[in-house]
Structure formats: structure tokens, C-alpha cells
Amino acid sequence: MGQLDGKVALISGVARGQGRSHAVTLASEGADIIGFDICADEVATVEYPLATEADLQETVALVEKYDRRMVAHKADVRDFDAVSAVVEAGVAELGRLDIVLANAGILSVTGEAGLTHRAFYDSIDVMLTGVYNTVAASVDHIVAGGAGGSIVLTSSTSGLKALGNGVPGMTGYIAAKHGVVGLMRSWAKRYGPDGIRVNTVHPTGVNSPMVNNEAFGRWVEENPEIANDMQNILPVPLIEPLDISNAILFLCSEQGRYVTGHTMVVDAGFTTR
């Protein structure tokens, strides 16, 4: 018996990194998955390669190894109509929705692109408006199920403290990650009477393609003062996606049934520095 037997979870940014880890972790506990990702290099201010359709299909295969179903689509989280179409198709096929993980994210901080105002707007569009789109397109399905549910928004340690040197890309990242805390608290109050719990999770740096890439490595070398500011208390440079998935599993399972309106930090002590 899994902790999430019979549940269906929607995950944005599911093709790789944290999103893939969340999909596999929830599937291993019995959940079926609705997932989507942009699967194209269509955010101009992002220097590193974004996920591909092959990445998305690999996530599907990993979920299916647990004998769970996954409905996967290519969609841009910035496009509300596209997100709504994914949700409607997934619920039509899988029959219900219980969990929403608004996970899609970018890091538009590197190179000349990170210095442009466009980097600020892209960060807000993906990680704040995109979170709104994901939840707004899906929450009525959880309500309609009548059994409550769980929504987890991926924030960051940068959603609790400032970081960086004030360039537009980093400022946009920090603003978006702070902003989702406001969305979380608003939705926790709005949907609590329906038995829906809403929380944020705040990782330190995670060993995923968003951080573990040539562009970000170069940026750290070029900005040693910021790199020094990014150190954890525990002697680990990056945590693993599974560390965040395990926290999310707690929030989505019966173990977290009375946790809502909470900012869950998984940061190796980063925010205490």
C-alpha cells in the first residue's frame, strides 16, 4: 500500500530535475501523474538548454516502471489556455485531481541576458504568473472531488531572504519566489474550508540542470562574492532533487494532513547564515 494510492497529481516542469523527481516519488507511492513542460528553448534570457520532449518521455517511462499512469504534454506554463488544456485532458483520462505541484522554474541570471529587463519579466512570467496559471487552471477539480487535497508551490531560499547583486534577472527570481509565498497564503485561506492544504517548499541550491550547467558555473566564477553568499551551514554544496521530493511527499500525504499555510525550508541551514 502506497501513501498516495488512488490519487492523481498535476506537476509543472515535470520533464527533468525536481519535477521528474517529484513525479517518480509520488508514483512510487501510488499516484498517477498529469505533467507538462515547455520542452523547447523558448525563454530568450535563459542561457542553458531547457528540457526536451525526449526528457519528458523519459519521465513517463520512469513513472510507468511503478505501474502508474502518466498523461504528459508539451505546454508553456506562461500560457493559461495551454495549461488549462493539459489539466482538462489529464482529468478526463485519469478521472480526478488531488495534488498540484507548481514546480516549473528558470534561472535567468547569467551572461548579458541576465542584465536585461527582459530577464526580470521572464522570471516573473514563469515563476509567479506560471504558478498562478497552474493552480488557477486546476484547483476547481480538487474542489469538485470533495475529498480535499494538497497544493505545493516551489519557492526557494530566495523566497525568504535576498541574494545576489540586484541585477534584473536575480531580482526577478527573488521577487517571484517571494511572490509565491503570498499566493500560498491567499489560497490556504481561500481553500482551507474545502479541505485543501496549500504550502510552499524552499530549497537551497539543488543538483538539477537549472544549476548544474556551464552557464551557471561560469556565473559563479565571475561573481565570487555571490558564490560565497550562497554557502550552506551543513557541508554540502547542493542538495538532491529527492530531498525536496521527500518533503513534498510529506506535505501531500496523510502525514501532513494538518499542515497548511506553511513555508517548508529544506536548505542545509542556508537561511540561518
Q: Which H helix or E strand runs over 1?
A: none
Angle, CA 128 vertex, CA 246 and CA 179 arms, to 5°: 85
Q: Comparing C-alpha atoms, which of 212, 209, 211, 203 is closest to residue 232?
A: 203
Around Cβ 190, how many Cβ atoms within 10 Å?
Answer: 12
Catalytic residue among 48, 121, 132, 173: 173
Task: Name the grid cell of 19.
Answer: 519535477
Contact 35, 19 (CB under 8 A): yes
Task: Name the grid cell of 99.
Answer: 495534488
> Considering just the CA atoms, what is the radius of gyration of the chain in Å?
17
Q: Which H helix or E strand runs over 134?
A: helix 130-136
Angle, CA 44 vertex, CA 206 and CA 113 arms, to 5°: 75
Is 132 a catalytic site residue?
no
Q: Active-site residue numbers?
A: 173
